[in-house]
Amino acid sequence: TINCVNPCGEEGLPAWGVCNLASLNLSAFVKDWDIDKAGWFDFKALEEHARIAVRFQDNVIDADQYVYPEIRKMQKQGERRIGLGTLGLADALIKMQLRYGSEQALPGVDKIYQTIRDAAYDESVNIAREKGAFPKINIKKHLEGYFIKQLPQSIRKKMARYGVRNSVLLQAAPTGTTSLLSGASSGIEPVYEFEYYHTGRLGLQLVYHSIYGEWKKLHPNEEKPRY
């Protein structure tokens, strides 16, 4: 029974349910980019890092120190729930000179998240083959899930045999603090303001979005590109 959500509200949880979150910085996968030249997206590297992230998060479940024994039991003997998400989508699109939300951007965005989805689930099934599926799995019911039915047949076929290591794998978290630490746009959101005023200890300051600030230095009197 889902009876609560996590602090940011994007994830429904059962009693004593928890989830460790991780994010792939999509901006970092745009190669051969500079401020006046569109880059290309490295989908092969994205797939590799999605697989690494799933293994990393699954290991965190076993390495973590739990506040309550009920939480430890739910994770280790129950769900093994993880949440792999992204940050930097808006910055990745800017680097490829694609306007967020445009028809031109949609195929690439679809491919990014399909790549993450398929790599994450395939790797979780691989770990299940090595170490066992999450303890509370009912494989027959799991395969009937609406989301699971959208996975490639090859992954579902492996899942039918080995199960899956993690009951839930993907999560679109807001990534507010981690985006600031990474110097990238947050979550899946667009860049809401390319320049804004910030009031802090040093008084009122004009702050530029990082990529836009870089572009503006080279093009001080030009209108910013649509992307």
Cα separation, 70 vs 49, whole angstroms: 31
Cα separation, 33 vs 214, whole angstroms: 13
Which of the residues 4, 8, 48, 195 is marked catalytic? 8
Least Cα distance to 182 among 113, 86, 98 occurs for 86
Are 159 and 189 within 8 A, CB to CB?
no
Is position 138 annotated as part of the catalytic site?
Answer: no
Are 16 and 74 within 8 A, CB to CB?
yes
Least Cα distance to 84 among 148, 178, 170, 172 occurs for 170
Which of the residues 3, 4, 10, 193 is marked catalytic? 10
Indicate the angle between helix axes 106-131 and 43-63, nearest 10 degrees: 40
Which of the residues 3, 4, 6, 130 is marked catalytic? 6
Is position 10 annotated as part of the catalytic site?
Answer: yes
Is position 126 annotated as part of the catalytic site?
Answer: no
Mind telling me the catalytic residues? 6, 8, 10
